[in-house]
Chain A
Amino acid sequence: MNDCVNAEVRDALPDLLHGRLSELDTATMKAHVESCPDCRAELEIMRQVQASAIIAPRMNAAAIAAAIPPYAGASVVRHAPSRERIFSHPLTLRIAVATALVAIGGWALSNVRATDEVRQTASTGSAIGTVPENAASVVSPSAIEPSEASTTATGETQVASLSLVETTAGLSDADLEKLMAELDGMESVPSAEPQEITITDDDFGISDEDSLR
């Protein structure tokens, strides 16, 4: 038993058997089958398969239809998660909190390092070039205000800002101590390692029920 070389015709044989072809295709196929013993044999096998099929029980359409509930209207189609739902997912929430903690920690750490450099510069009287560029921005306004102790005889003031951006070599020990005291008193600079920050669901406007979903 061989296969017909015309693959398209072989593919369409079941369609011929089930009458799924157009009138023209049906006529063409029948003409081919009459002249092709391979296709005739294959078509005969299909007829035998159909004939030998185990007969399925007849279905009671009315009984089956009676079990079908009436149409309940258009169902709600779920689209992609909304913006509010994103943070309700436990994993997403954890990632968001971890990212926020890392960002805050990094920012605090960089500020601490900058402050340390300022302190070192101020205490050792090192060269101007060692002072970080952003050091001036770290110093509080009070640090650049003139103080009585640093007023000279000519009325000019040797203020902390000058000592930072120009030189500290000309300052006396008393001036340096005062400058250090002012630096220690600055509120905008952390005096220790960054403190742990706790972020709760409330920060994201998420209720307990949402977080359980």
Chain B
Amino acid sequence: MTSGSQGEDADRELIQRWKAGDSRAATELVSRHADALARFAVSAGERSEIEELVQDTFVRAFASIDSFRGESSLRTWLFTIERRLMLDRRRSERRQRTTVPVQPADAVTEFDALDSLLAEEAESRVRKAVNALSPMQREVFSLRVEQGMSYREIADVVGTTEGAARVHYHNAMRAVKEFLSE
């Protein structure tokens, strides 16, 4: 019921151009996906060094571009890499014990000023409802609603099955509705 092969074809062509030595193709690829990666990072609870995270994601992806077989879209593959980097970050933070594990509700970061400007939206009931979800539900819900990914793509990103991603999404939507109706 969905379509997105045109964008995937464009990604494949850009990858070939970059391999052939066209550095502008890399810039174009970054332009196509960087903002989505930043949004995903923020929705997953990241608040600091977002651009560094996105940059690391692209550097890793381009370094192993030959392992990208095109079985999923490039964006899905990038999200998968970024998610692993976020998990590594959190593990590292837990080991160092210098920071509290990132939680959207209580993170104190360099984006505080921006957050305060958006306080009205961030503190809206619907955002609170989303923040009350379990980490997996919130991740799946964000990928489905905010990123518009298919269940297949979500399953690839979070490392689960398509059916499990569907169940997580519907459970999340049910929880949000219950929160809002209280």
| A interface residues (Cβ-Cβ under 8 A, vs B) | 1, 3, 10-12, 14-15, 17-18, 20-22, 25, 42, 45-46, 48-65, 67-71, 74-75, 77
Query: Is there an interface contact between B1 and A49, defined as CB atoms closer than 8 Å?
Result: no
Q: Is B122 an interface residue (CB 8 A)?
A: yes
Q: What chain B residues lie within 8 Å of A11 (beta carbons)? A: 151, 166
Query: Is there an interface contact between A52 and B127, defined as CB atoms closer than 8 Å?
Result: yes
Q: Is B159 an interface residue (CB 8 A)?
A: no
Q: Is B181 an interface residue (CB 8 A)?
A: yes
What would 5 A/B residue contacts be, using CB atoms closer than 8 Å? Answer: A45-B126, A56-B41, A56-B50, A59-B35, A67-B59
Query: Is there an interface contact between B145 and A46, defined as CB atoms closer than 8 Å?
Result: yes
Query: Is there an interface contact between A52 and B124, defined as CB atoms closer than 8 Å?
Result: yes
Question: Given the complex of chains A and B, what is the CA–CA distance between A62 and B29 in angstroms?
Answer: 10
Query: Is there an interface contact between A17 and B148, defined as CB atoms closer than 8 Å?
Result: yes
Q: What chain A residues lie within 8 Å of B55 (beta carbons)? A: 63-64, 67
Q: Smallest CB–CB gap between B25 and chain A, Å?
A: 9
Q: Is B12 an interface residue (CB 8 A)?
A: no
Question: Given the complex of chains A and B, what is the CA–CA distance between A65 and B127 in angstroms?
Answer: 33
Query: Is there an interface contact between A52 and B54, defined as CB atoms closer than 8 Å?
Result: no
| Chain B CB within 10 A, most for which of A11, A21, A55, A58 | A55
Q: What chain A residues lie within 8 Å of B35 (beta carbons)? A: 56, 58-59
Question: Given the complex of chains A and B, what is the CA–CA distance between A168 and B122 in angstroms?
Answer: 107
| Given A42-B173, A69-B63, CB of A57 within 8 Å of CB of B3 | no
Q: What chain B residues lie within 8 Å of A3 (beta carbons)? A: 174
Which residue of the partner chain B has the closest CB to A1?
A: B177
Query: Is there an interface contact between A1 and B34, defined as CB atoms closer than 8 Å?
Result: no
Question: Given the complex of chains A and B, what is the CA–CA distance between A71 and B23 in angstroms?
Answer: 9
Mask of B107-141 contacts with A, CB within 8 angstroms, 1/0:
00001001100100110101100100000000001
